Structure 1
Amino acid sequence: MIFNYIKTKLTLPCIVLLLSLSSCVTKKEVVYFQNAKDFETIVDTDTFAPKFKVNDIVSIFVSTFDIEAVAPFNLYIGGNQNSNPQLIDYLVDIDGNIDYPVLGKVKLLGLTVEEAKLLFKEKLSDYLKDPIVNIRILNFRISIIGEVNSPGRYDVSGERITILEALALAGDLNIKGKRENILVVRDFNGTKTYTRVDLTNKELFNSPVYYLTQNDIVYIEPNNSARSSASGDTRIGTIISISSFLITTALIFVTRN
């Protein structure tokens, strides 16, 4: 009876202490959009569209009914459409221009894709009848680093992506990620901006970085429990060692007496 009493008295407090040290993250720290009310409606009036930046890689394809007339505007790698049907890409230079066949320098810096299409249709109207212009940004990539399940660099197939969709690509935040202070680093022609958003607040939808642009970096910093995990692991190991020692000592004492 004495043996069981001592064993219970020594073991139970140790278990409680271990559980308290390992349960550092609360529900409030991980739930998204906590201030969103039931049946609340948010109308998305955002007309966001990415704009061309310096060093963007652009694909442009022009088509019309007259195949021969449009040929000079669609250049292919190797110069032969039949043997290697891969269009030449264009780089937005430091001045914001691309060097396009026949038209020469065309300034794309700061334009959206739709604005660039209208510009090309206007310039091509002197050479082609009713041209159709398709333009794509080929280097639309984002980087997600920090406390997510799959950090890395991700290609975006469409023309825009939200920060929530980007985090979904990275497997969402892990339990160590700080949801109230997500950092988005954005570069626009050599000028970097740093914007922080709170995933637990519905105001995220009104943030200027809710829609990401090409080459944005999303960083998720560790929360308090993650920062103290190393020291916490050390403390837990020490407590286990001490507990084992005390229990062993008590068993020896009981056995001898």
Structure 2
Amino acid sequence: MQKAFKVVIFIISLSLILTSCVSKRDITYFQNDQIDQTKVSNSYKTILKPDDLLQITISALDFESVKSFNLPAVNFSTTTNNAVGSPQQQSYLIDNNGYIDFPVIGKLKIGGLTRNQTIDLLKDKLDPDYVKNPTINIRIANYSVTILGDVRRPGTYTIPNERITILEAIGLAGDLNITGKRNTIKVFREINGKKVEFSIDLRSNKIFTSPVYYLQQNDLVYVDQNKSSSQDAAFNRNTGLFVSIGSIIVSLIAVLTR
């Protein structure tokens, strides 16, 4: 009986070891492929999209001429109808059709444009009728990316400088857990109103030439669990079942070896 029990314990332990081992080649970054320097680019363009919240500042030598385009946003008390708190810079939300409602000028379609294209559009509308030689600064106030799945600190992260690589985003999330799959990192991005899925392999240097190496606002990065982690989770959920099966096996062996 004792011998049979030891045999069963050995078989179960061996099975757990074999299914939970993680190979070094499955977790080491940048181990495969050479970097194709001809395809590496440091250029990055921010594309404005619906639901972006913009802060647009117009400056010029003639201070009076830009006042109408730098309206402060204030809160009003519901009881006294007076402004409360400190005025803040007005923000402009791009609607589902790509438009903002800009002071004096009215509706402007900027969804799908780059920052520089939007600046050129505003300059064309303002100069010379309203503001001569304006300087225009545009910032996305709600620029963020989301990292979910098998990472140490999943969540949504605000990016103040509006420029982040997928490696930097993973760094913000505390890196992948040892059980995270390196070879099928998924990136979901909205392009022309449609959700597009990309897949990258952190083990390969081809990541540096990937179209999602530089993330865009509202990108979603998802890290799946590797097979051994999923098996471990399944084992933990079914521990009671395994114990029962083991007991039955031990009993059968004991009966058959009498």
Name the TM-score, length of structure 1 as normaliser: 0.79
Q: Is the 8 A contact 1:179 1:200 kept in 2?
A: yes
Residues 35, 95 of structure 1: alpha-carbon distance in 2 compared, 3 angstrom cutoff:
same
What pairs with 1:83-102 in structure 2 (closer than 5 Å)? Answer: 84-102=86-104
Question: Which residue is equivalent to 2:111?
Answer: 109
Question: Which residue is equivalent to 1:42?
Answer: 37
Aligned-residue CA RMSD in angstroms?
Answer: 3.1
Deviations 1:161-206, CA, capped at 9 Å, x for gaps: 1111110010010011111001111123531111111111111122
Residues 1:60 and 2:56 are matched in the alignment: yes
Deviation at 1:41, TM superposition (A): 7.4
192-201 or 28-37, which moves further after superposition? 28-37
Deviation at 1:84, TM superposition (A): 2.7
Residue aligned with 1:165, SS: helix
Residue aligned with 2:100, SS: strand
Question: Which residue is equivalent to 1:125?
Answer: 127
* The structure with more strand, counted as a fraction of residues: 2
In the alignment, the residues of structure 1 paired with residue 162 and residue 177 of structure 2 have an alpha-carbon distance, to the nearest angstrom, of 27
Give identity over the alignment, percent.
Answer: 43
Q: Is the 8 A contact 2:20 2:229 kept in 1?
A: no
What pairs with 1:176-191 in structure 2 (closer than 5 Å)? Answer: 176-191=179-194
Residues 1:24 and 2:21 are matched in the alignment: yes
Q: Is the 8 A contact 1:49 1:159 kept in 2?
A: no
Deviation at 1:21, TM superposition (A): 4.5
Deviations 1:91-143, CA, capped at 9 Å, x for gaps: 11222111100111111111111221122122211211221111011221111
Q: Is the 8 A contact 2:155 2:173 kept in 1?
A: yes
Q: Is the 8 A contact 1:149 1:173 kept in 2?
A: yes
In the alignment, the residues of structure 1 paired with residue 44 and residue 64 of structure 2 have an alpha-carbon distance, to the nearest angstrom, of 37
Structure 2: unaligned runs, 5 residues or longer:
76-81, 251-258
Question: Which residue is equivalent to 1:248?
Answer: none
